Amino acid sequence: MEPKQQESKLTFWGAGTARTLRPIWVAEELGLTYQLNPIGPRTGETQTKQYTDLNPKQKVPFCEDGDLKLSETIAISRYLISKYGSADTLISPHTIEERAKEDEWLAFIYGELDETSLYVMRRHGALAHIYGEAPTALEAAEEYVKKQLNVINMHLQNRDYILNDNFTLSDIFLITCLNWVKAYGIDTPNILQEYRSRIVSREAYIKAMEINQQS
């Protein structure tokens, strides 16, 4: 079923990265209309007075919905799903226990894959001209990625998605990290390769990727 277009006053800031993709993808899954200001994280656009007044962190993504202003990908995505989600699109967990499991996986994916390892590889790989070369850190980070991928691979045996049998925010976060993994040429177990191939065929993902490449 096609997501129903809903009324919102959404504005997103930021495009061109794995982290900016997440709220855009969520919005597409929810069938929301929004305005995108596709500023980049290292173009100087986050340093302007206009943007700094909105978001003193000077980071992307950033979201405005009426008077509400939010930074951080988990907070933005959770808010969108809680406010605009439905059984036909994306929904928040119904019980305390389900919410705890989603929190567990989001913390693991964002903390162990995104920040602790994959972003270390980005810092000292593609962004080495800014952060410096660190071959030992790169090697250690790659090994750490593989270790965490094995944990997820075991969990996904006989499962279609991270939580129960439903596509959720946890899957969105994991796919954006698996995109990094693929781009870095890291060996990935077959189950994870099949999982990624299935999810990236979603119409909302394809559209979000096109939109996110605007920076």
Distance CA(84)–CA(163), nearest Å, equals 20
Q: Are residues 57 and 108 in the same domain?
A: no
Q: Would you say residue 1 lies in a domain?
A: no
Q: Are residues 154 and 117 in the same domain?
A: yes
Q: Are residues 63 and 73 in the same domain?
A: yes
3-state DSSP call for residue 9? strand
3-state DSSP call for residue 159? coil
Q: Which residues of the chain have pLDDT under 50?
A: 1-5
Q: Are residues 62 and 111 in the same domain?
A: no
- The amino acid sitting at 207 is K
Q: Are residues 105 and 197 in the same domain?
A: yes
- 197, HSE (Cβ side, Cα atoms, 13 Å): 7
Q: Would you say residue 140 lies in a domain?
A: yes
Tokens of 115: 């920040």
Q: Are residues 109 and 83 in the same domain?
A: no
**CATH code of 108's domain:** 1.20.1050.10
Distance CA(176)–CA(27), nearest Å, equals 15
Q: Are residues 69 and 102 in the same domain?
A: no
Which residues is 63 bridged to in the sheet? Answer: 12, 70
**CATH code of 79's domain:** 3.40.30.10
Q: Are residues 190 and 115 in the same domain?
A: yes
Q: Are residues 114 and 73 in the same domain?
A: no
Q: Are residues 110 and 149 in the same domain?
A: yes
58 Rama sector, left if φ>0, alpha if ψ -120 to 50, beta otherwise: left
Q: Give yes or no for a contact between 3 and 30, defined as CB atoms under 8 angstroms apart.
A: yes
The whole domain housing 32 covers 6-91+204-212
Q: Would you say residue 21 lies in a domain?
A: yes
Q: Are residues 75 and 119 in the same domain?
A: no
Tokens of 83: 């406010």
Q: Are residues 113 and 67 in the same domain?
A: no
Tokens of 206: 């394809």
Q: Would you say residue 169 lies in a domain?
A: yes
Parallel, antiparallel, or unpaired for β 32-37 and 6-13? parallel
Q: Would you say residue 142 lies in a domain?
A: yes
Could you tell me the pTM of the whole model?
0.93
Q: 40-82, pLDDT tens digit by residue?
A: 998 999 999 999 999 999 999 999 999 999 999 999 999 999 9
Number of domains present in the structure of the chain: 2
Strands of the 68-71 sheet, one edge to the other? 32-37, 6-13, 62-65, 68-71
